[in-house]
Amino acid sequence: MKRYLFIIMGMIYCTAFSAQEKDSVSLHTEIDSLSENQFVMRSTLYGIGYTNILDTYLSPMEYTGVEGRILHERMRMTKLFDGNVSTQSMLQANIAYTENKSATGNEISGLVNWNYGLHYHFKLNEHLRILTGALGEINGGFIYNTRNSNNPAQAKAYINVSASAMAIYKFRIKNIPFQIRYQVNVPFIGVMFSPNYQQSYYEIFTLGNHHGIVNFTSLHNQPSLRQFLTLDIPVSWSTLRIGYVGDFQQSKVNNIRCHTYSNVFMIGFVKNFYLIKNKDKIQKKIPF
């Protein structure tokens, strides 16, 4: 437990150090009028949590353990549909060290996920926005089983188009502004690389047996989702963001069942600013 506390404290120190430069326009700055399409939100979060991994290509057993994750996000308003559409780019990377229930073996896994998409904003009132849209995403990584001599590793590579929805709510406590946000992404169509059950990578890459290794995926064989819950807290001239990532990836392709269930606590800082030519102009309202 002490080890995890030291890791979290180190992450907080790193994020605080990286946020020493003031935002060109912070969350609390009152400015005069610019269009929302010049607004940019950028954040970097670090996290640690718990993960559960199963890949029957490597082992019929589940492996559980600790995961570390970094998440970098950028959102920007656009001029599309009268300025009601925003872009979102999100890059995540995680690495995990896990053990099976009988404590006879370990797995090391890592995954990088990048997505880019568009959301349409429904401004219900001055406090609440609902966003809906779609994302394209690319995923690549590995799982390495330390006890296997034959087929010790499994490569992860898949591309998806995902439906996405988000709710952003602003509120105040004693005149201090806070913002809470929830987002969920669900892949509904894609392609995935997967060897056939008991097929070695030697057969694929040396003997050239490529049949069936690229597969169509949808909700029937890849029912997955990623969800994000964050709270923005003003701290002096900066904004602290704490959050939770629930990343639940699962598939059944070529008779191989896979899942990675991750629950991760995240912490970091947010920068809100405007892309402006005249630095004397400042905007009143922060879109998200």
pLDDT for residue 283? 44
pLDDT for residue 208? 87
Instruction: State the pLDDT confidence band at 28, using cuts at 50, 70 and 90.
Output: very low
Residue whose tokens read 């405007």? 274
pLDDT for residue 36? 59
pLDDT, the chain, mean: 86
207 has pLDDT over 70: yes
Instruction: State the pLDDT confidence band at 238, using cuts at 50, 70 and 90.
Output: confident
15 has pLDDT over 50: no
Per-residue model confidence as pLDDT tens digits over 145-163: 999 888 899 999 999 999 9
Please, which residues have CB within 8 angstroms of residue 93's CB and are 6 or more apart in sequence? 69, 70, 110, 111, 112, 113
**Would you state the CATH architecture of domain 2-274?**
Beta Barrel (2.40)
pLDDT for residue 237? 81
Q: Write the secondary structure of the chain as one string of H (helix), E (strand) and C (coil).
A: CHHHHHHHHHHHHHHHHHCCCCCCCCCCCCCCCCCHHHEEEEEEEEEEEEEEEEECCCEEEEEEEEEEEEEEEEEEECCHHHHCEEEEEEEEEEEEEEEECCCCCEEEEEEEEEEEEEEEEEECCCCEEEEEEEEEEEEEEEEEECCCCCCCEEEEEEEEEEEEEEEEEEEEECCEEEEEEEEEEEEEEEEEECCCCCCCHHHHHCCCCCCCCEEEEECCCCCCEEEEEEEEEEECCEEEEEEEEEEEEEEEECCEEEEEEEEEEEEEEEEEEECCCCCCCCCCCCCC
32 has pLDDT over 60: no
Instruction: State the pLDDT confidence band at 1, using cuts at 50, 70 and 90.
Output: very low
Q: Which of 258, 246, 135 is nearest to 182 (CA)?
A: 246
Residue 110: burial class (beta carbons within 10 Å; 0-12, 13-18, 19+): middle
Which of 98-107, 161-170, 204-213, 246-255 is predicted least confidently? Answer: 204-213
pLDDT for residue 34? 40
pTM for the full predicted model: 0.82
**CB pairs under 8 A, 24+ apart, for 99-103?**
99/63, 99/64, 99/65, 100/59, 100/61, 100/62, 100/63, 101/61, 101/62, 101/64, 102/61
pLDDT for residue 277? 54
One-letter amino acid identity for 9?
Answer: M
**What's the mean pLDDT in 243-258?**
97
